[in-house]
């Protein structure tokens, strides 16, 4: 790529980054998986018994990370309570100031996130 095009690309990336940098503070990022490792090939399972579709810890204990600088979630910490993906709708509803639907599985995790 010619230098002038690289410079234009770098300038565009820099301008875009500057325009959206303020969004990082107010954006809630959630990373999670749905269940333990699969059967068959041996995957890392942190030494836990069981895997996908089993009731043992290795079948349902998975990582879930929340990062939200504007909401005070900046430092890593462990939460020992049992949670599940169905808790996301009531949690996000509460954080956004909305009422969760009446027939909604799960509970808000907002109290343990603060």
Q: Residue 2: which pLDDT band, with cuts at 50, 70 and 90?
A: low
Q: Are the CB atoms for 51 and 37 separated by under 8 Å?
A: yes
Is pLDDT at 1 greater than 70 in this prediction? no
| Secondary structure (3-state) at 57 | helix
Q: Residue 36: which pLDDT band, with cuts at 50, 70 and 90?
A: low
pLDDT tens figures, 39-70:
666 677 778 888 778 888 877 777 888 888 88
Q: Which two tokens stand for residue 2?
A: 């010619």
Q: Are the CB atoms for 30 and 64 separated by under 8 Å?
A: yes
pLDDT tens figures, 68-111:
888 888 888 888 888 888 999 999 999 999 988 888 899 999 98
Task: Flag whether the pTM goes above 0.85.
Answer: no
Residue 36, number of CB atoms within 10 A of its CB: 23
């Amino acid at each position: 790529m010619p230098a002038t095009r690289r410079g234009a690309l770098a300038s565009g990336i820099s301008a875009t980054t500057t325009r959206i940098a303020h969004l990082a503070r107010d954006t809630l990022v959630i990373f999670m998986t749905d269940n333990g490792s699969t059967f068959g090939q041996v995957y890392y399972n942190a030494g836990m018994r069981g895997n996908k579709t089993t009731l043992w810890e290795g079948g349902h204990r998975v990582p879930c990370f929340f990062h939200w600088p504007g909401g005070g979630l900046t430092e890593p910490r462990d939460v020992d309570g049992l949670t599940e993906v169905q808790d996301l709708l009531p949690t996000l509803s509460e954080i956004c100031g909305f009422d969760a639907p009446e027939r909604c599985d799960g509970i808000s995790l907002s109290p343990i996130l603060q």
